[in-house]
Amino acid sequence: MPELPEVEVIRRDLEKEAEGKKIKAVEVNSMRVVRRHPNKKHFVKLLEDRKIRTVSRKGKYLLLRLDDENTMVIHLGMSGQLLKEKSAKAPMEPHTHVVITFTQGGQLRYVDPRQFGELFVAPKDELNEIAELAHLGIDPVEEPLSWQLFASLLAQRKAKLKSVLMDQKFVAGIGNIYSDEILFAAGLRYDRQSDELASQEVRRLYRSLLEILHEAIKYRGTSAADEQFRDLYGELGGYQEFLKVYQHTNEPCRRCRTPIVRAKFSQRSTWYCPQCQT
């Protein structure tokens, strides 16, 4: 599943490729990906002849504000991809469910084999009432905060560190990949209690969180073994080359050479170094 860095990469690409463009036509091939609308025509009508004013992000949600103040919300789900094509004649990828054609030429295509993602248009007076957006936690990339405030919020959670990092109501956008990498960089085990950390450990955790997310964005996200993530131009991310523990079972730790361990935690796989992370 794309996490915060991958969605931020797409946001920046969309900012260059879609802002200021007028939508000429919209084609929907699956009702499931526009499921919040009563029918396909309803979704199409809200987009055609509208201009995209701004592109922003909230957690893992892309927000494309239109010139009528409504907002198209895009969530990539497990396997969604948003691709830019220069020409409508370009071959169509399998599982392409929504095609947005601009008046100036070119298209945005939403591809999603598993169809867990979605697109919908939120009226301007209802955007803040969408539960998934209203309950999102801090965004360390968009709105950095002091480590002291982070420490206070962390202590209030009273849960295992990995669960806290992946709790979208605490930090928006972090999933399995980056929680493992952040904890390794901070030298902390996934099952440590959030309210029992020393101040120095909290500072390490927050510094690692910021550094890992910004580095992942710099290298245009992570395309893991399934290569599911592609940027707006269909290119793979590059941060998978820098992952230290995620999917590195039994490989030597880059710090101490101890084999990386894969464990089960909350019905997920988690990777860590038993020597470096305490």
Instruction: Compute the average pLDDT of residues 19-43.
Output: 98
Q: Which of 11, 60, 109, 244 is catalytic?
A: 60
Residue 225 confidence (pLDDT): 73
**Domains recognised in the chain with CATH numbers:** 4-134 (3.20.190.10), 147-272 (1.10.8.50)
Nearest C-alpha neighbor of 76 from the set 95, 52, 50, 53: 95
Q: Which of 12, 24, 268, 274 is catalytic?
A: 268
Residue 224 confidence (pLDDT): 82
22 catalytically annotated: no
Count of C-beta atoms within a 10 Å radius of residue 93: 15
204 catalytically annotated: no
89 catalytically annotated: no
Instruction: Compute the average pLDDT of residues 165-177.
Output: 95
Using CB atoms within 10 Å of the CB of residue 87, give its burial: 0 to 12 exposed, 13 to 18 middle, 19+ buried. exposed
- In tens, the pLDDT along 33-58 reads 999 999 999 999 999 999 999 999 99
- In tens, the pLDDT along 112-132 reads 999 999 999 999 889 989 999
264 catalytically annotated: no
| % of the chain beyond a pLDDT of 90 | 91
For the chain, report the end-to-end CA distance as a whole number of angstroms. Answer: 28
The per-residue pLDDT of the chain, averaged, comes to 95
Question: What's the pTM value of the predicted model, to 2 decimals?
Answer: 0.95
Query: Cα separation of 91 and 94, whole Å?
Result: 9
Residue 76 confidence (pLDDT): 97
